[in-house]
Amino acid sequence: MLVDSHAHIQLDNYDKDRESVLTRARQADVHAILIVGFDLQTSQDAILLAESHDECFATVGMHPHDATTLTSATLDIFRKLASDPLVIALGEMGLDYYRNQSPRSLQKFAFEQQLDLAEELSLPVIIHNREAYHDILPILKARSGRIRGVMHCFSGDVKTMRHTLDLGFCIGIGGPVTYRKAEELQTVAREVPVDHLLVETDCPWLAPQNQRGKRNEPAYVRSTAEKIAELRGVSLDKIAEITTRNFERLFRDRAPSVS
Ligand code: NI
């Protein structure tokens, strides 16, 4: 059994065939899907989907692109939404210095506010990073022992992976690990300790090599898990088992436990 730890199937890209997408996920043995919000609307939609599908769970949060819209009123709504037991994490949140759609100072402010909320609610966090590890890691380090979560769609090198692991965070590996030129990410996928590895799609984006350029979906997390199994010289079943266990430990235990 596999888990897609990062999907956006609440988006209208799936309005025409969402039930078929979920059926294909089940057929691919994907038995849990974490639907990740990135602004108010997509967070509310994630909860609605989780309410109507047993295998779906939700997160609520504000992406750094929209950091400017995180007012104290919005934060209050997130706080209320997060009291729903189907909400098992906050995010995605973080810093994006590639697109810079919001000023960096405001991105940091929005990130810190959401981390405060995660501490208050004892929820794990899903971190979005683009070209910003040098700022994200110190921010997380300052909260070491009080915050836990996953570095989603990890794209750093092995050294950055080690710093991330030092903070107790999990490494989320997505479809790019299957790309032919992804040597660095493949090295990371080989070296992540078994108890800190998660798999994800980030669908509709980042489809694996065999579907590259098409709309991604939770069923395809299987290709990513197969690639990681091949890289590590273990069975797909083994990768499925450890990533599912890690998912359960990180997201399904609401107690404030930090390694
Ligand atoms: Ni995402």
Query: How far does residue 182's CA lie from ligand 1's centre (Å)?
Result: 19
Query: How far does residue 81's CA lie from ligand 1's centre (Å)?
Result: 19
pLDDT tens digits, residue range 180-234? 999 999 999 999 999 999 999 999 999 999 999 999 999 999 999 999 999 999 9
Query: How far does residue 183's CA lie from ligand 1's centre (Å)?
Result: 22
Statement: residue 253 has pLDDT above 80: no
Query: How far does residue 7's CA lie from ligand 1's centre (Å)?
Result: 7
pTM above 0.85, yes or no: yes
Query: How far does residue 109's CA lie from ligand 1's centre (Å)?
Result: 20
Query: How far does residue 259's CA lie from ligand 1's centre (Å)?
Result: 25
pLDDT in the model for residue 254: 53
pLDDT tens digits, residue range 92-125? 999 999 988 899 999 999 999 999 999 999 999 9
Query: How far does residue 43's CA lie from ligand 1's centre (Å)?
Result: 12
CA separation for the pair 248, 245 (Å, rounded): 5
Which pair of structure tokens corresponds to residue 75?
Answer: 């934060």
Exposed e or buried b for every residue in 53-92, given b needs 16+ CB within 10 A?
Answer: beebbbbbbbbbbbbeebeeebbeebeebbeeebbbbbbb
CA separation for the pair 216, 194 (Å, rounded): 25
% of residues, the chain, pLDDT over 90 = 96
pLDDT in the model for residue 100: 86
Secondary structure string (H, E, C) spanning 44-100? HHHHHHHHHCCCEEEEECCCHHHHHHCCHHHHHHHHHHCCCCCEEEEEEEEEECCCC
Taking CA 250 as the corner, what is the angle to CA 216 and CA 116, rounded to the nearest 5 degrees?
100
Query: How far does residue 45's CA lie from ligand 1's centre (Å)?
Result: 14
Residue count of the chain, please give it. 259
Query: How far does residue 215's CA lie from ligand 1's centre (Å)?
Result: 14
Tell me the mean pLDDT in the region 71-90: 97
Query: How far does residue 253's CA lie from ligand 1's centre (Å)?
Result: 22
